[in-house]
Structure 1
Amino acid sequence: MTSVDAKQAISFVFHNTSGIGPQTPSFHPTYTHYFFGDNETINDVNSSEIVIHIKDDTFETMIEGITKPASESSIDPVDTIISSLSPCTFAPFKDTPRGWTPPGNLVLQYNPPMSFAGNRSPISSSSEDTTVVYEIYHESLANHRMRLYHHQLQIMPFFFIDTASFIDPCSRDSVEKDTSTPDTQWEIFIIFQKTTRREITHYSIVGYTTVYRFFRFPDNYRFRISQFLIFEPYHRQGHGTFLLASVYKKALSSGVIDTTLELQSPDFKIMRTVTDIMLLSKLGVLTSKPIPFAKPSDPVETAYSLPSILPFSPDLLESAQKIVPLSTNQLKHCYNIIRMICLPGDAKSEEEFRKDIKRHLLRTHEEELVGLAQEERISKLSLLYQMTLAEYKLVLASFKKHMDLLSCESFGSF
């Protein structure tokens, strides 16, 4: 049976019909197993090209495909995608209403440093007749306009998140007519690039995250981040960091005591920890003063006086959560990495750090270590320590690449 790679056959194209703002390159999905099985292949076809067209402001969506079947019994892959994604709809684009603005309330406005463009197309910046700024909007699914917008966004996680599911599985018709009841504990944060030229403004979506608000006895709440997506043309430009920071900012203003995650990929785990460490460092939450760091442009001989790490205690945890709303486990994780940064470099301090990390690992891995013989337990603990140290160093390497974000006034403006 002939087949083609589904991930290569499918591409996404964002369309900007305003004449101003970005024209982003097409990109391919990360996952297609939701539609075409674990092998992620379109079977019984000689060739297939499928394009999902998306208006980058209103997120209207069309799909088209050219497939050469290998037999009369071949199933059109476009039909497979459409049927798998109902309740979402695919339809021809309509003209964007003049003066269209994003749904929700503005919670953060920022511009990432130009250094974050990397090897990709440069981050759009302001010029003599054009201004560019990134804005993050927030609203709950109780808001009808946000619910309508998010309803169509739901197609994206199935292509870019391994274990995606529908948050709002009601039909498009019932959402439009408001005849179905959403789970109003869901809240949405969306990033848009706002481009203004003369008197015309265009909004282009960059990414979004969905968050569920849980009640936490006796009178607080907890955020659980569910889906977190920065679209491929905007990767590695600092947007994920600002999006996560906006979630924390909203949490602090709405009675949320900490923020947890459903599942996290390795890349997201690093991005999250880097963001958390930058916030904790900039605000001086776990140290005697904010941590200064050399930027890539600083002279090699530039010297900085590192602060001392504060003793970890329930009081420190409580005060830290009032400034950056992290879970207890994540705060401890960040504390250990910041402590490693602040090590004075003498043998005694490094030995105390090593012993404390191993004691922490003994507690967190007690179930898998308790039944082992002493020699095997020592060997296993040593391996866990080396893996933990390697993870810390990976986070710090990414952290140093993100140092320019600390100069952005809007980052950490809680």
Structure 2
Amino acid sequence: MAGLSAMEKKLAEYKCNTNEAIQLKLVRFPEDLEDDSTTFNPEYSHQVFGDDEVAFGFKGLKILLYYNAGNLSTLFRIEYTSKVNENFDCVEADDVESKIRKIIPPGFCTSTDDFVSLLEKEVNFKPFGTLLHTYSVHNEEAGEDITYQIYQADMTCPGFRDYHERLQTFLMWFIETASFIDVDDERWNYFLVFEKYNKDGATLFATVGYMTVYNYYVYPDKTRPRVSQMLILPPFQGEGHGAQLFETVHRYYMSSPTVLDITAEDPSDNYVKLRDFVLVKLCQDLHCFLPEKLMQGFSQEMLTEAQQKLKINKQHTRRVYEILRLRATDMGDPEQSKGYRLDVKKRLIGPYKKKQRELAKMRRCLRPEELTNQLNQIDLNMQHEQLEESFQQLVSDYRRVLERLAQA
């Protein structure tokens, strides 16, 4: 046993954390290849390497996935200092290459020279589809404003299908439950963000991020666009591109008479914060959200105006109302504060009320010992505590939205 554990210890040295081993880059200039500051790592690699996010069989493993900034032509290479089968008989290293090949499309480079020669062709790369929006962000480091553009594309754009195959590989590393979509389904829309930059006097475009939206049919003649995936690449995160993309896409669908409202599939917490910010920004100027109307409570007028003018559904309109009412409420005034608290808690208590109704049904058909068991699960004091906790969490989320709005 002692011998085995010594062997196990030796083999454990050949385990590598794949989130650290995978090195990603968006390359604009040849010197970026040697510049560690342009490297970023995945947040997740479990979809490729299993729940432990470990590759076995290597010491000093590096999985290089470098992309040209615009066209996303790819360099894929594996480097390591030693491999387990060089030192141990009958022990196999994981087949890292075939795991990566499953998610990156064929046609990648394996040599740096080939990759650099493709980099020279970046000057010919132009964004796909129709330009929807141009905006600029001040860059402290460069001391200048940088211009960004958002485009809407589809699979009929020449070259877009291949580009999208390369782009979607990033999802695996940054969205926990990501999956690739069926690009042959024409109901998908694609929205892309690009940065304009200069290189040797020419204007080039770098990929910043994208969003995919699926258009569901709603009887008899409407559609309900649902946001499926959204990703701003790590080098560009925290600069406001997500809000620009979300608002541009929302405005794109708002202008269509056939769109009923816009939803999202299984949204992350970050996405919900982004949505709150953009929808409140869009709604704050609507007549139905004037402070005096907010203080009278949530109304049908709000639902109607938000849906007809801005294509916002009932659930999201209610959140917008609660955020804007918080802004209009003096929380230092006991009466106003109480009014707000009761109004929000009345909505939050919905699920508990449902449990209460289910309990009443159980009383009629369960044996006493079974009922006690059920009652224990729905302790009233616990409900009040959970309700208060949910309320406080919500108010702190709402305040963050309002702070961001005040800065915008």
Normalised by the length of structure 2, the TM-score is 0.80
Q: Is the 8 A contact 2:151 2:191 kept in 1?
A: yes
Q: What amino acid is the match of 1:78?
A: E
Quote how far apart the aligned CAs of 1:200 are: 1.6
Aligned residue for 1:394? 397
Alpha-carbon displacement from aligned partner over 1:217-254 (angstroms, at most 9, x marks no partner): 22221111111101111111111000100110111123
Partner residue of 1:176? none
What CA distance in whole angstroms lies between the structure 2 residues aligned with 1:146 and 1:124? 33
Partners of 2:302 and 2:308 in 1: CA distance: 10
1:285, 1:323 within 8 Å by CA — same for their partners in 2? no
Q: CA deviation at 1:144?
A: 4.4
Tell me if the contact between 1:6 and 1:42 (Cα under 8 Å) persists in the aligned partners.
yes
Which residue is 2:319 aligned to? 333
Q: Is the 8 A contact 1:44 1:69 kept in 2?
A: yes
Farther-moved stretch of structure 1 (367-376 vs 59-68): 367-376
Preserved contact between residue 24 and residue 41 of structure 2 (Cα < 8 Å)? yes
Would you say 1:158 and 2:207 are equivalent positions? no
1:369-380, aligned counterparts within 5 Å?
369-370=356-357, 371=359, 376-377=379-380, 379-380=382-383
Amino acid at match of 1:259: I
Q: Tell me: CA distance 1:238–1:230, structure 2 relative to 1, closer, same or farther (3 Å).
A: same
> Aligned pair 1:111/2:136, yes or no?
yes
Per-residue CA deviations over 1:260-298 (Å, capped at 9, x if unaligned) read 1112222222222222222322x3465227xxxxxxxxx
d(CA) in 2 for partners of 1:284, 1:113: 30
1:355 partnered with 2:342: yes
SS of residue paired to 1:384: helix
Please state if 1:10 is matched with 2:28.
no
Give the Å deviation of 1:96.
2.2
Question: Where does 1:14-413 land on structure 2 (aligned, <5 Å)?
Answer: 14-17=26-29, 25-67=38-80, 68-71=82-85, 73-82=92-101, 84-85=102-103, 87=105, 89-91=107-109, 92-93=114-115, 94=118, 95-96=120-121, 98-112=123-137, 122=141, 125-126=144-145, 132-168=146-182, 182-196=184-198, 200-254=202-256, 255-281=258-284, 283-284=285-286, 286-288=288-290, 308-309=294-295, 311-345=297-331, 346-370=333-357, 371=359, 376-377=379-380, 379-401=382-404, 403-405=406-408
1:210 to partner: Cα distance:
0.7
**Residue-by-residue CA offset, 1:92-113 (whole Å, 9 max, x unaligned):** 5424264431001111111235
Aligned to 1:295: none
SS at match of 1:58: coil
Question: Identity of counterpart residues, as a percentage?
Answer: 24
Q: Secondary structure at the match of 1:393?
A: helix
Query: Which piece of structure 1 moves more, 47-56 or 265-274?
Result: 265-274
* 3-state SS, counterpart of residue 322 of structure 1: helix
Q: CA deviation at 1:385?
A: 3.5
Deviation at 1:363, TM superposition (A): 2.2
CA contact (8 A) 1:5 1:41 kept: yes
**Inter-CA distance 39–18: structure 2 relative to 1 (3 Å threshold):** closer
- 1:402 and 1:12 mapped to 2: Cα distance? 33
Aligned in 2, Cα 1:309/1:153: closer, same or farther, shift over 3 Å?
A: farther
Q: Kindly provide the amino acid, as one letter, of the partner of residue 191 in structure 2.
A: F
Aligned equivalents of 1:111 and 1:307: distance in 2?
Answer: 35
Could you tell me which residue of structure 2 aligns to residue 302 of structure 1? none
Q: What secondary structure is seen at the aligned counterpart in 1 of 2:391?
A: helix
**CA apart distance, 1:348:** 2.0
Task: Count how many residue pairs are aligned between Structure 1 and Structure 2.
Answer: 362
Structure 2 unaligned spans of 5+: 1-10, 86-90, 360-373
For 1:288, give the aligned amino acid.
Answer: L
Question: Do the aligned partners of 1:188 and 1:209 also contact (CA within 8 Å) in 2?
Answer: yes
Q: Which has the higher contact order (CA 8 A, sep 6+)?
A: 1
Deviates more, 1:255-264 or 1:157-166: 255-264
| SS of the residue 2:169 aligns to | coil
2:122, 2:235 → 1: CA distance? 25
In 2, the alpha carbon distance for the partners of 1:258 and 1:18 equals 46
How many angstroms apart in 2 are the aligned matches of 1:310 and 1:102? 48
Cα 1:353–1:398 shift into 2, 3 Å: closer
SS at match of 1:38: coil
One-letter code of the match for 1:63?
F
**Amino acid aligned to 1:164:** A
TM-score normalised by structure 1 residue count: 0.79
Counterpart of 2:133, as a letter, is L
C-alpha distance after superposition, 1:181-236 (max 9, x if no partner):
x1111111111111257952111111111111111222221111111101111111
Question: How far is 1:125 from its partner?
Answer: 2.6
